Amino acid sequence: MTTKHAVIPDSHADLLTRPLFVHLATRGPNGIPHVNPVWQIWDGEFLRFTTTHDRRKCKNVTADPKVSVSVNDPEQPYRYLEVRGTVERVEPDPSGDFFDVLAKRYGLSYEAPVGDAERRVILVVRPEHTTHQ
Amino acid sequence: MTTKHAVIPDSHADLLTRPLFVHLATRGPNGIPHVNPVWQIWDGEFLRFTTTHDRRKCKNVTADPKVSVSVNDPEQPYRYLEVRGTVERVEPDPSGDFFDVLAKRYGLSYEAPVGDAERRVILVVRPEHTTHQ
Protein backbone atom coordinates (compact mmCIF):
# COMPACT_ATOMS: atom_id res chain seq x y z
CA MET A 1 0.00 0.00 0.00
CA THR A 2 2.95 2.29 -0.50
CA THR A 3 1.17 4.33 -3.13
CA LYS A 4 -1.94 4.94 -1.07
CA HIS A 5 -0.48 7.75 1.02
CA ALA A 6 2.07 8.87 -1.51
CA VAL A 7 0.40 12.16 -2.38
CA ILE A 8 -0.18 13.45 1.15
CA PRO A 9 3.11 14.03 2.98
CA ASP A 10 3.22 12.25 6.35
CA SER A 11 4.57 15.46 7.88
CA HIS A 12 1.29 17.27 7.11
CA ALA A 13 -1.29 14.44 7.19
CA ASP A 14 -2.55 15.65 10.59
CA LEU A 15 -3.99 18.72 8.85
CA LEU A 16 -6.43 16.33 7.15
CA THR A 17 -7.00 13.86 9.99
CA ARG A 18 -7.79 16.57 12.56
CA PRO A 19 -11.30 18.07 12.27
CA LEU A 20 -10.04 21.35 10.82
CA PHE A 21 -12.07 23.44 8.43
CA VAL A 22 -10.44 23.45 5.00
CA HIS A 23 -10.90 26.00 2.23
CA LEU A 24 -12.18 24.34 -0.94
CA ALA A 25 -11.49 26.17 -4.20
CA THR A 26 -13.45 25.40 -7.35
CA ARG A 27 -13.79 27.00 -10.74
CA GLY A 28 -17.00 29.03 -10.97
CA PRO A 29 -18.87 30.42 -13.97
CA ASN A 30 -16.68 32.41 -16.36
CA GLY A 31 -13.63 30.79 -14.78
CA ILE A 32 -13.83 32.90 -11.61
CA PRO A 33 -12.35 31.06 -8.61
CA HIS A 34 -14.70 30.30 -5.72
CA VAL A 35 -13.43 29.32 -2.28
CA ASN A 36 -15.00 28.87 1.15
CA PRO A 37 -14.48 26.89 4.38
CA VAL A 38 -15.94 23.39 4.52
CA TRP A 39 -15.86 20.13 6.46
CA GLN A 40 -13.64 17.36 5.11
CA ILE A 41 -12.73 13.77 5.86
CA TRP A 42 -9.81 11.81 4.43
CA ASP A 43 -9.65 8.00 4.38
CA GLY A 44 -6.00 7.78 3.31
CA GLU A 45 -6.99 7.75 -0.35
CA PHE A 46 -9.86 10.15 -1.05
CA LEU A 47 -10.95 13.45 0.45
CA ARG A 48 -14.71 13.70 0.86
CA PHE A 49 -16.97 16.73 1.22
CA THR A 50 -20.70 17.14 1.72
CA THR A 51 -22.87 19.52 -0.29
CA THR A 52 -26.19 19.43 -2.11
CA HIS A 53 -26.67 18.83 -5.81
CA ASP A 54 -28.31 22.23 -6.28
CA ARG A 55 -25.56 24.28 -4.66
CA ARG A 56 -23.04 26.29 -6.61
CA LYS A 57 -20.15 24.13 -5.39
CA CYS A 58 -21.67 20.99 -6.89
CA LYS A 59 -22.48 22.76 -10.14
CA ASN A 60 -18.91 24.06 -10.32
CA VAL A 61 -17.28 20.64 -9.90
CA THR A 62 -19.73 19.03 -12.31
CA ALA A 63 -18.64 21.56 -14.93
CA ASP A 64 -14.94 21.29 -13.98
CA PRO A 65 -13.83 18.57 -11.54
CA LYS A 66 -10.44 20.12 -10.73
CA VAL A 67 -10.35 21.47 -7.18
CA SER A 68 -7.84 22.62 -4.61
CA VAL A 69 -7.97 22.55 -0.82
CA SER A 70 -6.03 24.76 1.61
CA VAL A 71 -5.68 24.20 5.34
CA ASN A 72 -3.30 25.63 7.89
CA ASP A 73 -2.51 24.72 11.46
CA PRO A 74 -4.39 26.94 13.93
CA GLU A 75 -1.48 26.62 16.37
CA GLN A 76 1.23 27.25 13.74
CA PRO A 77 -0.43 29.19 10.93
CA TYR A 78 2.62 29.16 8.65
CA ARG A 79 2.35 25.37 8.61
CA TYR A 80 -0.04 24.59 5.77
CA LEU A 81 -1.05 22.02 3.21
CA GLU A 82 -2.58 22.57 -0.22
CA VAL A 83 -4.06 19.54 -1.97
CA ARG A 84 -4.98 19.70 -5.64
CA GLY A 85 -7.08 16.96 -7.08
CA THR A 86 -10.03 15.84 -9.14
CA VAL A 87 -13.62 15.12 -8.15
CA GLU A 88 -13.82 11.53 -9.34
CA ARG A 89 -17.41 10.95 -8.28
CA VAL A 90 -20.44 12.80 -6.95
CA GLU A 91 -22.30 10.23 -4.85
CA PRO A 92 -25.85 10.63 -3.57
CA ASP A 93 -26.33 10.76 0.22
CA PRO A 94 -30.15 10.74 0.37
CA SER A 95 -30.24 9.50 3.96
CA GLY A 96 -27.85 12.22 5.07
CA ASP A 97 -25.67 9.51 6.65
CA PHE A 98 -22.45 11.01 5.35
CA PHE A 99 -23.53 14.45 6.52
CA ASP A 100 -24.00 12.87 9.98
CA VAL A 101 -20.46 11.47 9.92
CA LEU A 102 -19.04 14.91 9.21
CA ALA A 103 -21.34 16.68 11.66
CA LYS A 104 -20.20 14.32 14.41
CA ARG A 105 -16.55 14.74 13.39
CA TYR A 106 -16.87 18.53 13.61
CA GLY A 107 -19.00 18.59 16.75
CA LEU A 108 -22.19 20.03 15.25
CA SER A 109 -25.34 19.18 17.21
CA TYR A 110 -28.56 18.94 15.20
CA GLU A 111 -31.52 16.67 14.76
CA ALA A 112 -30.78 14.00 12.12
CA PRO A 113 -31.57 13.58 9.32
CA VAL A 114 -30.39 16.94 8.08
CA GLY A 115 -33.28 18.92 6.56
CA ASP A 116 -31.94 18.81 3.00
CA ALA A 117 -30.91 15.13 3.13
CA GLU A 118 -32.71 14.25 -0.10
CA ARG A 119 -30.48 16.72 -1.97
CA ARG A 120 -27.24 15.79 -0.20
CA VAL A 121 -24.29 14.52 -2.22
CA ILE A 122 -20.71 13.52 -1.46
CA LEU A 123 -17.83 15.00 -3.46
CA VAL A 124 -15.13 12.33 -3.71
CA VAL A 125 -11.76 13.91 -4.52
CA ARG A 126 -8.60 12.08 -5.53
CA PRO A 127 -5.51 14.02 -4.38
CA GLU A 128 -2.97 14.47 -7.17
CA HIS A 129 -0.52 17.13 -6.04
CA THR A 130 0.34 18.97 -2.87
CA THR A 131 2.23 22.03 -1.79
CA HIS A 132 3.13 22.47 1.87
CA GLN A 133 5.36 24.29 4.28
CA MET B 1 -17.97 57.54 0.32
CA THR B 2 -20.95 55.26 0.63
CA THR B 3 -19.75 53.04 -2.16
CA LYS B 4 -16.31 52.51 -0.66
CA HIS B 5 -17.38 49.82 1.79
CA ALA B 6 -20.36 48.61 -0.18
CA VAL B 7 -18.90 45.27 -1.18
CA ILE B 8 -17.67 44.10 2.23
CA PRO B 9 -20.58 43.60 4.66
CA ASP B 10 -20.06 45.51 7.93
CA SER B 11 -21.10 42.35 9.79
CA HIS B 12 -18.01 40.51 8.51
CA ALA B 13 -15.47 43.33 8.01
CA ASP B 14 -13.60 42.24 11.15
CA LEU B 15 -12.49 39.11 9.28
CA LEU B 16 -10.41 41.41 7.07
CA THR B 17 -9.34 43.99 9.67
CA ARG B 18 -8.08 41.37 12.15
CA PRO B 19 -4.67 39.85 11.28
CA LEU B 20 -6.16 36.53 10.18
CA PHE B 21 -4.61 34.34 7.54
CA VAL B 22 -6.84 34.21 4.48
CA HIS B 23 -6.91 31.57 1.76
CA LEU B 24 -6.24 33.11 -1.65
CA ALA B 25 -7.52 31.17 -4.66
CA THR B 26 -6.19 31.81 -8.14
CA ARG B 27 -6.46 30.09 -11.48
CA GLY B 28 -3.36 28.06 -12.24
CA PRO B 29 -2.05 26.54 -15.47
CA ASN B 30 -4.66 24.48 -17.34
CA GLY B 31 -7.37 26.16 -15.28
CA ILE B 32 -6.57 24.18 -12.13
CA PRO B 33 -7.47 26.12 -8.98
CA HIS B 34 -4.62 26.97 -6.61
CA VAL B 35 -5.24 28.08 -3.03
CA ASN B 36 -3.08 28.67 0.03
CA PRO B 37 -2.98 30.75 3.22
CA VAL B 38 -1.54 34.23 2.97
CA TRP B 39 -1.26 37.55 4.79
CA GLN B 40 -3.69 40.29 3.77
CA ILE B 41 -4.46 43.91 4.54
CA TRP B 42 -7.61 45.82 3.61
CA ASP B 43 -7.77 49.63 3.47
CA GLY B 44 -11.56 49.82 3.08
CA GLU B 45 -11.27 49.73 -0.69
CA PHE B 46 -8.58 47.29 -1.83
CA LEU B 47 -7.21 44.03 -0.43
CA ARG B 48 -3.45 43.80 -0.74
CA PHE B 49 -1.15 40.79 -0.69
CA THR B 50 2.62 40.37 -0.87
CA THR B 51 4.37 37.91 -3.17
CA THR B 52 7.32 37.93 -5.58
CA HIS B 53 7.11 38.41 -9.32
CA ASP B 54 8.63 34.99 -9.97
CA ARG B 55 6.23 33.00 -7.80
CA ARG B 56 3.40 30.94 -9.18
CA LYS B 57 0.77 33.13 -7.52
CA CYS B 58 1.98 36.23 -9.38
CA LYS B 59 2.18 34.34 -12.66
CA ASN B 60 -1.36 33.05 -12.13
CA VAL B 61 -2.90 36.49 -11.54
CA THR B 62 -0.93 38.00 -14.40
CA ALA B 63 -2.49 35.38 -16.68
CA ASP B 64 -5.96 35.69 -15.09
CA PRO B 65 -6.60 38.49 -12.57
CA LYS B 66 -9.78 36.99 -11.09
CA VAL B 67 -9.21 35.77 -7.54
CA SER B 68 -11.20 34.72 -4.51
CA VAL B 69 -10.37 34.92 -0.81
CA SER B 70 -11.82 32.81 2.01
CA VAL B 71 -11.47 33.51 5.71
CA ASN B 72 -13.32 32.18 8.71
CA ASP B 73 -13.44 33.22 12.34
CA PRO B 74 -11.13 31.07 14.49
CA GLU B 75 -13.54 31.48 17.42
CA GLN B 76 -16.68 30.77 15.37
CA PRO B 77 -15.57 28.72 12.37
CA TYR B 78 -18.98 28.71 10.68
CA ARG B 79 -18.74 32.48 10.46
CA TYR B 80 -16.92 33.14 7.21
CA LEU B 81 -16.40 35.61 4.41
CA GLU B 82 -15.55 34.93 0.78
CA VAL B 83 -14.42 37.89 -1.33
CA ARG B 84 -14.21 37.60 -5.09
CA GLY B 85 -12.42 40.28 -7.00
CA THR B 86 -9.90 41.33 -9.60
CA VAL B 87 -6.20 42.06 -9.33
CA GLU B 88 -6.22 45.62 -10.66
CA ARG B 89 -2.51 46.23 -10.30
CA VAL B 90 0.71 44.40 -9.49
CA GLU B 91 2.93 47.03 -7.87
CA PRO B 92 6.68 46.66 -7.27
CA ASP B 93 7.83 46.67 -3.62
CA PRO B 94 11.62 46.69 -4.20
CA SER B 95 12.38 48.07 -0.73
CA GLY B 96 10.24 45.39 0.90
CA ASP B 97 8.38 48.16 2.77
CA PHE B 98 4.98 46.61 2.14
CA PHE B 99 6.27 43.21 3.23
CA ASP B 100 7.38 44.93 6.47
CA VAL B 101 3.87 46.34 7.02
CA LEU B 102 2.35 42.88 6.70
CA ALA B 103 5.08 41.18 8.75
CA LYS B 104 4.46 43.65 11.56
CA ARG B 105 0.69 43.20 11.28
CA TYR B 106 1.07 39.41 11.57
CA GLY B 107 3.74 39.49 14.26
CA LEU B 108 6.60 37.97 12.24
CA SER B 109 10.05 38.86 13.57
CA TYR B 110 12.83 39.02 10.98
CA GLU B 111 15.66 41.28 9.91
CA ALA B 112 14.45 43.85 7.37
CA PRO B 113 14.67 44.19 4.47
CA VAL B 114 13.33 40.77 3.56
CA GLY B 115 15.88 38.73 1.61
CA ASP B 116 13.91 38.70 -1.65
CA ALA B 117 12.90 42.39 -1.45
CA GLU B 118 14.07 43.15 -4.98
CA ARG B 119 11.55 40.64 -6.32
CA ARG B 120 8.67 41.63 -4.01
CA VAL B 121 5.39 42.84 -5.51
CA ILE B 122 2.01 43.87 -4.13
CA LEU B 123 -1.17 42.34 -5.52
CA VAL B 124 -3.88 45.00 -5.34
CA VAL B 125 -7.35 43.41 -5.46
CA ARG B 126 -10.64 45.22 -5.91
CA PRO B 127 -13.45 43.32 -4.17
CA GLU B 128 -16.46 42.78 -6.42
CA HIS B 129 -18.67 40.17 -4.76
CA THR B 130 -18.92 38.45 -1.41
CA THR B 131 -20.57 35.43 0.12
CA HIS B 132 -20.78 35.13 3.89
CA GLN B 133 -22.50 33.40 6.74
Confirm or reject contact between A131 and chain B (CB < 8 A): yes
Confirm or reject contact between A68 and chain B (CB < 8 A): yes
Q: How many CA atoms lie within 13 A of B124 on its CB side?
A: 11
Q: Are A32 and B84 in contact (CB under 8 A)?
A: yes
Please report the pLDDT score of residue A3 as a whole number.
46
Confirm or reject contact between B19 and chain A (CB < 8 A): no
In sequence order, the 6+-apart residues with CB closer than 8 A to the CB of A63 are A27
Q: How far apart are CA B16 and CA A18, in angstroms?
A: 26
Please report the pLDDT score of residue B70 as a whole number.
98
Q: How far apart are CA A61 and CA B32, in angstroms?
A: 12
Check CB contact under 8 Å for A68 and B32: yes
Q: How far apart are CA B120 and CA A126, in angstroms?
A: 34
Q: How far apart are CA A16 and CA A42, in angstroms?
A: 6
Check CB contact under 8 Å for B25 and A37: no
Domain count, chain B: 1
Mean pLDDT is lowest, of A83-92, A112-121, B2-11, B44-53, for: B2-11
Q: Are B55 and A63 in contact (CB under 8 A)?
A: no
Under the banding of pLDDT at 50, 70 and 90, the label for residue B132 is: very high
Q: Which CATH number does the domain housing residue A86 bear?
A: 2.30.110.10
Check CB contact under 8 Å for A69 and B35: yes
pLDDT tens, position by position, B65-120: 999 999 999 999 999 999 999 999 999 999 999 999 999 999 999 898 999 999 99
Q: Please count the other Cβ atoms lying within 10 Å of the Cβ belonging to residue A31.
A: 11
Domain-located, residue A2: no
Roughly how many angstroms between the first and final C-alpha of chain A, as a whole number? Answer: 25
Asked whether the whole model's pTM tops 0.90, one would answer yes
Interface confidence (ipTM) of the complex? 0.94
Domain-located, residue A4: no
Domain-located, residue B4: no
Residue B84, classed as helix, strand or coil, is strand
What's the domain range around A16?
Answer: 10-132
pLDDT tens, residue order, chain A (133 aa) = 444 456 999 999 999 999 999 999 999 999 999 999 999 999 999 999 999 999 999 999 999 999 999 999 999 999 999 999 999 999 999 999 999 999 999 999 989 899 999 999 999 999 999 999 9
- pLDDT-above-90 percentage for chain B: 93
Domain-located, residue A3: no
